[in-house]
Each structure stands twice: as structure tokens, then as C-alpha cells.
Amino acid sequence: MIPDLPGNIDEIKGFLADDEAHALHHHALVESRKGPVLEIGSYCGKSTIYLGLACRRNGATVFALDHHRGSEEHQLGEYFHDPDLYDTGEGQVDTFREFRRNIRSAGLDETVVPLVAGSDAAARQWQTPLAMVFIDGGHSLDAALTDYRCWTAHLMRTGILAIHDLFEDAHEGGQAPWAIYRMALASGLFEDLGRVNTLGLLRRL
């Protein structure tokens, strides 16, 4: 049971299974005692709320990084496109309004710091060590590699790296998250903590 979990959490748009959400909350609760948490790919804020509720208990911060223009699969005509999140005036996906509404409703405005940018731009002069990094951004290989390379260097020793949407079989899902997960394991810098559903968990050595 997670204290203060909004009653409408199951209605918030997102692609996070319950067991994955609870695993994120658990690790964020432990790791945020040491420092801030960074989430890459916030979408409408469902996972951000689980991370934020954990961090709030420790007086810590969640940096929620997302350009809020949707991943490749969210664009017009693609499989996961949601017309409710499409700004017809701009001709672009815009998830930021929905994200802000959900974060405010959860009472997390003083815990969650939105970073409305891409990984490259946000990481360019980043200097804050991170206790936990959750990668759930774009699923192209280029996007996933950029997220991994930009942010794992800022993960403090013993910190947690969480990677979402791991599918060994290409028929079940995209392979980019699986590729960076294998890259992390092969680097020798991480201890494998196992998986919860499609969420991979590793600890920085």
C-alpha cells in the first residue's frame, strides 16, 4: 500500500504495470535518501507520481525529463497515437499540459521539477549526482543510446539504474531498451538486481 496514491492513478495515461510501478516506488524510497531521482520519459506523469510520492517522504526531488512531443510511436498515424494529446493548432503531440495537471492533482508540485527538453540539451552542463535514473524515453536505438550515455555517468555509486520496456523477443516489443540494458551489464559497472515484468533494475558499483 502506497500512502497518498491518487484515487485516479489507474485512469492516468501511461504504459506502466502495477508491479513495475511499485518497484519504482520502493527503490526511489530507498535511494532518494541519498540524492535526487531522474526520470527520462515522463509522458503524462503516471510513473512520475510513484517516484514523486517516494521522494516526497524523504524531502528529495524528482527531475522529470521529457520534451513532451511524444516518442516515435506516439506521432500522428502511429500505433500509440492518442488524439487527446495532439495539439491540432501546433500540429504536434503535447503531453505537458496533461503532465502538469496530474502532478498538481497529486500534490507533487514542490517535489517534481519538470525538465522540458531532450537528453542532450539537459545533460550538456549537468553536474548534480543522481541517486536513481529511470530510463523510459524514446524507443529508437538512437534515443535510447543517447539517454544511456548522457545520464549513467551522473549516477552515483550504489545508485539504481532502472530501464523500462525490456523485451528479449523482438515480436513482443522494441529492442532499444533491451540493447542498453545489455550494454549496462556488459560494462562491468553495474550489478544486476533482476527484473520486474519489463522493468530492469541495476545497481551502480
Q: Which of 67, 68, 139, 164 is catalytic?
A: 139
Count of beta carbons in the 10 Å neighbourhood of residue 54? 25
3-state secondary structure of 15: coil
- φ, ψ dihedrals at 159, nearest 5°: -70, 165
For the four alpha carbons of 35, 41, 45 and 49, in that order, the dihedral sign comes to: negative
Of the candidates 158, 162, 125, 120, which has an alpha carbon nearest to the alpha carbon of residue 142? 120
Q: Is 67 a catalytic residue?
A: no
Helices 18-31, 46-57: crossing angle, 10 deg rounding: 30
Count of beta carbons in the 10 Å neighbourhood of residue 10? 9
38 contacts 63 by C-beta, under 8 angstroms: yes
Tell me the Ramachandran region of residue 197: left when phi exceeds 0, alpha when psi lies from -120 to 50, beta otherwise: left
Strand-strand pairing, 155-163 and 199-204: antiparallel
Catalytic positions: 139
